[in-house]
Amino acid sequence: MLYLLKLVLIADILSHVYGEQITNESETCEELLDEELKEEIASYGPTRDKILKYVLEGEFKGRTFKELTKFINKFGGRLTGTENLENSIDYMINLTIKEDIHNITAETLKVPQWTRGKEEITMLKPRVKNMALIGLGNSVATPKDGITAEVVVVDSFEELEKVDAKGKIVVFNVHFTTYSETVKYRFEAATRAAGKGALASLVRSVTMFSIYSPHAGMQKYGNETKIPTAAITLEDANLLKRLYTAGEKIVINLKMLSKLDYNTSRNTLVDIIGRENPEKIVIVSGHIDSWDNGEGAMDDGGGLMISWAVPVILKKMNLEPRRTIRTIFWTAEEQQYVGAEAYEKKHRHEEKNINFALESDDGTFAPRGLQMLGTQKARCIVAEVLKLFKVINASTLIDTYVSATDINVFLERGVPGAGLLNDNGKYYWYHHTAGDTMDLMDEKSLDLCTAFWAAVSYIIADLSVDIPRNDTTS
């Protein structure tokens, strides 16, 4: 087929840049996988081709981008606990029903409703300068007139221990290394600073790039006194560091009129019932909530929409997998996986039946494969499946899971799972900022992600063998 020949040529060119499958276990996989299983996996080639053609050239071409555009235009940012988020959940349920899919369950749970309120920050000394600011999730408020205090600037938690922070505002000027390494400062800054007697904490935005845009995100209070906490831009963090290093006395007024309450929200479950083993489940997921300063197109509108597309595509193509595919639109992910934890608790009785868990929450740029956590044999099986996707340069398997969010609640209990690996080198440029808009999304990349996501989900759910798991729980 002409479209496949084109994809092969493109993949051949891109493989020089991105490589193919990343694994040093090829010899072990030869021992763990018998020829019969390899032949079975290879036999899904024609099914892969049909799905790719349907999404990349056929009826579904451009559909994901079209639906995501309408969704983002209508709802924008979808902060947990808001009416806007709940309206967006209703919208996705109705959109699914219009596709003649009716195995839909909305499970209600209690979620935090944090209202940002007015936020202002002004440097008063050594000169007057208004600065950009974004409060961090669930931060307590300042007094009405704000907090006016001297500033200390530190580059690490270790440095904090060496300075006198009592009665001051602590600025954590921590440069980005990796997200997993740097984000701990956003999570822990307020608690660490409070432990030293600080009145408030400010965190350099967790990113390597900025156009004077602060990055939102969640923080977590410990047992210390709760103090206000917020993120500032890279540019202002650098300015404050330069002034502090030069010995200037820095005084800041910080105002944050936030408040915290509680509301209800819903996880949404969409099931394509398995034809032979309906009790066994492959989870395919993305989260529907977002921060309020952007539109949540990249985080996680794209992941939401390619996951929504899976049951729609399979139904339209009359593909009935052996096991049940359960698409989940997680709620309250940004509030530290509140929705996922509620689901895991409610469904723990059926956890042994989760065969595999998939989540897209790291961008939906051009797909490159999967990043996975599981047993060695599980990784070998998935690596064999990914060989089918060399044709779109999506055969890479990274066998260390680094971006799991909601499905962590299953991974830590021994369930094998994976996240979409995609060409997202600039993801953290726009993550949790006002720049997370539809302008970041690309129609062709979304089509590729959609086709890959639907095909991988179907194949894993349809294999004659279960994906082996770590039995870490009883």
pLDDT tens digit sequence for 168-185: 999 999 999 999 999 999
Q: In the predicted model, is pLDDT for residue 3 greater than 80?
A: no
Q: What is the pLDDT of residue 295?
A: 98
Residue 414 makes CB contacts below 8 A (sequence gap 6+) with: 469, 470, 471, 472, 473
Q: For 359, list phi and psi in degrees, rounded to 5.
A: -145, 140
Average per-residue pLDDT in the chain? 93
The enclosing domain of 178 has a CATH number of 3.50.30.30
| DSSP tag of 353 | G
Q: What is the pLDDT of residue 2?
A: 43
The model's pLDDT over 48-69, given as tens digits with 9 standing for 90+, comes to 999 999 999 999 999 999 999 9
Q: How would you label 23-32 residue by residue, b for 16+ Cβ within 10 Å and e otherwise?
A: beeeeebeeb
| DSSP tag of 218 | B
Same domain? For 53 and 109 the reply is: yes
Same domain? For 342 and 209 the reply is: no
- Any idea of the CA torsion for 401, 405, 409, 415, to the nearest 10 degrees? -40
The model's pLDDT over 208-235, given as tens digits with 9 standing for 90+, comes to 999 999 999 999 999 989 999 999 999 9
Same domain? For 332 and 445 the reply is: yes
Pick from 234, 257, 280: which residue ends a domain? Answer: 257
Same domain? For 454 and 313 the reply is: yes
Domain annotation covers residue 474:
no
The residues pairing with 229 across neighbouring beta strands, listed in sequence order, are 201
Domain annotation covers residue 472:
no
Domain annotation covers residue 102:
yes
Domain annotation covers residue 320:
yes
* Residues 378, 460 contacting (CB under 8 angstroms): no
The enclosing domain of 288 has a CATH number of 3.40.630.10
Peptide bond before residue 300 is cis, with ω within 30 degrees of 0: yes
Same domain? For 78 and 143 the reply is: no
Residue type, 221: Y
Q: What is the pLDDT of residue 26?
A: 64
Same domain? For 243 and 268 the reply is: no
Same domain? For 297 and 415 the reply is: yes
Pick from 257, 277, 310: which residue ends a domain? Answer: 257
Cα distances (angstroms) measured from residue 460 to each of 43, 289, 369, 378, 463:
13, 27, 14, 11, 6
Residue with tokens 């070998």: 380
Q: Which of 2-6, 179-183, 244-248 has the lowest mean pLDDT?
A: 2-6
108: which 2 tokens? 């209600």
Same domain? For 159 and 273 the reply is: no
Same domain? For 251 and 272 the reply is: no
Q: In the predicted model, is pLDDT for residue 275 greater than 60?
A: yes
67, 119, 295, 333: which one is catalytic? 333
Domain annotation covers residue 471:
no
Question: What is 294-329 written as a DSSP string?
Answer: S--IIIIIHHHHHHHHHHHHHHHTT---SEEEEEEE
Domain annotation covers residue 467:
no
Same domain? For 70 and 174 the reply is: no
The model's pLDDT over 321-373, given as tens digits with 9 standing for 90+, comes to 999 999 999 999 999 999 999 999 999 999 999 999 999 999 999 999 999 99
Is 248 designated active site?
A: no
Same domain? For 408 and 288 the reply is: yes
Q: What is the pLDDT of residue 11?
A: 41
Pick from 211, 234, 257: which residue ends a domain? Answer: 257
Q: In the predicted model, is pLDDT for residue 293 greater than 60?
A: yes
Domain count, the chain: 2
Domain annotation covers residue 470:
no
At 403, the pLDDT band (50, 70, 90 cuts) reads low
Same domain? For 388 and 267 the reply is: yes
Q: CA–CA separation, 163 vs 152, rounded Å?
A: 8
Through-space distance between the first and last CA atoms of the chain, rounded to whole angstroms:
49
The model's pLDDT over 464-473, given as tens digits with 9 standing for 90+, comes to 999 999 865 4
Q: What is the pLDDT of residue 339?
A: 98
| DSSP tag of 349 | G
Q: What is the pLDDT of residue 189?
A: 98
Structural domain harbouring 237: 117-257
**Residue 34 CB: number of other CB atoms within 10 A?**
10
Angle at 82 (CA atoms; ends 81, 83), nearest 5 degrees: 130
